[in-house]
Amino acid sequence: MSNDVAVVVEQLEGTLAEVSFEMLAKGRELATASGGRLVAVLAGHEVRPLAAELGAADAVAVIEHEALAHYTPEASERAVAEALRALEPRVALVASTSMGLDQAGGLSVALGWPLCAYCTDVRLDEGRLVAVSRIYGGKLVAEAQVDGDRAICAMLPGVAAAAAGRVSGSPALQEIAAPALDSLRVRFRRLIQPESGDVDITRESILVSVGRGIQSQDNIPVVEALAQALGGALSASRPIVDQGWLPKTRQVGKSGMSVKPKLYVAVGISGAPEHIEGMRGAELIVAINTDPNAPIFGVAHFGVVSDLFDVLPLLTEKVKSRA
């Protein structure tokens, strides 16, 4: 067993996922505590050049195979398991994303290492691994001490700063021979890209989000006007999207996007756990709601208990007059 910390890096069609840099930042903290190396595990086909973007790691364990040219959970899981078996790290971090969760359970079974899912924090406490998980859509926070020498932790996106893990460099390459990747039961057919053309709310620094308190699609421009005055974008809670009032690309939350803007204004949104899961990482949260007991006020830094139709036009005018 080593004291190394492994980070399973996500790449799709040769592009590294933003969340992998977050995992590297978190991995560095753990590696400092464990006294081991930080090793990025990179599986794919002709992906070695990506190692130059993984300078936050001390080494990159590269596992290459034609069958890994396009992502399939089965091939990727087998390859990553092979790399982790060779590395024997103290802890392996995967991102709690659709790709990471695809594989985390299978890796745990293949390696016989326990899996801690939905982690918001992982730390070493006098050599023991402690994982903090946000479960049941954020209703419960569980802190667990992990028995055994090794573990896999699936970290929620947004719990570490990607900037700290985005370092160019030339980490040592450690080649890992791919396992047999024939007789795969899952075959790649084609990649269907999400519809483009709309704003990417995950990249916006200011979001004004509209909820069911808006009452009708015809009222949405009231909220959009504030978003425009602030130079931000309009996002929404799920019911707004389910009604077809805004496209799915604007939905914040568990079954939508996770966002981390500098400013998040929640307008007429109650703050259900499924919504909060997607926006609690915002730097500054302002909530406007008529109900003083609305759960959104539990995460908001500033709250306005008032009718949105009274507040928003005034706020928009105020912002415009200062522009």
Interacting residues toward ligand FAD by CB under 6 A = 211-213, 237-239, 251-256, 268-270, 272, 274-275, 278, 288-291, 294, 307-309
Q: What does the block give as tokens for 103?
A: 């594989």
Residue 56: partners with Cβ closer than 8 Å, 6 or more residues away: 21, 24, 25, 27, 28, 38, 40, 164, 165, 166, 167, 169
The terminus-to-terminus CA distance of the chain in angstroms comes to 59
Minimum distance from CB of 138 to ligand FAD (Å)? Answer: 11
Map tokens 């695809």 to a residue: 102
Nearer to ligand FAD, 30 or 272 (CB): 272
Nearest to 57 by CA among 43, 41, 39: 39
| AA identity, residue 160 | A
Nearest to 251 by CA among 287, 205, 294, 201: 201
Minimum distance from CB of 267 to ligand FAD (Å)? Answer: 7
Minimum distance from CB of 256 to ligand FAD (Å)? Answer: 4
Minimum distance from CB of 86 to ligand FAD (Å)? Answer: 38
Is residue 115 within 8 Å of 62, Cβ to Cβ?
A: no
Minimum distance from CB of 255 to ligand FAD (Å)? Answer: 4
Nearer to ligand FAD, 150 or 275 (CB): 275
Is residue 48 within 8 Å of 12, Cβ to Cβ?
A: no
Nearer to ligand FAD, 67 or 246 (CB): 246
Is residue 77 within 8 Å of 106, Cβ to Cβ?
A: yes
Nearer to ligand FAD, 70 or 212 (CB): 212
For ligand FAD, the nearest residue by Cβ is 253
Nearer to ligand FAD, 13 or 307 (CB): 307
Minimum distance from CB of 218 to ligand FAD (Å)? Answer: 14
Nearer to ligand FAD, 135 or 180 (CB): 135
Residue 58: how many other CB atoms lie within 10 Å: 18
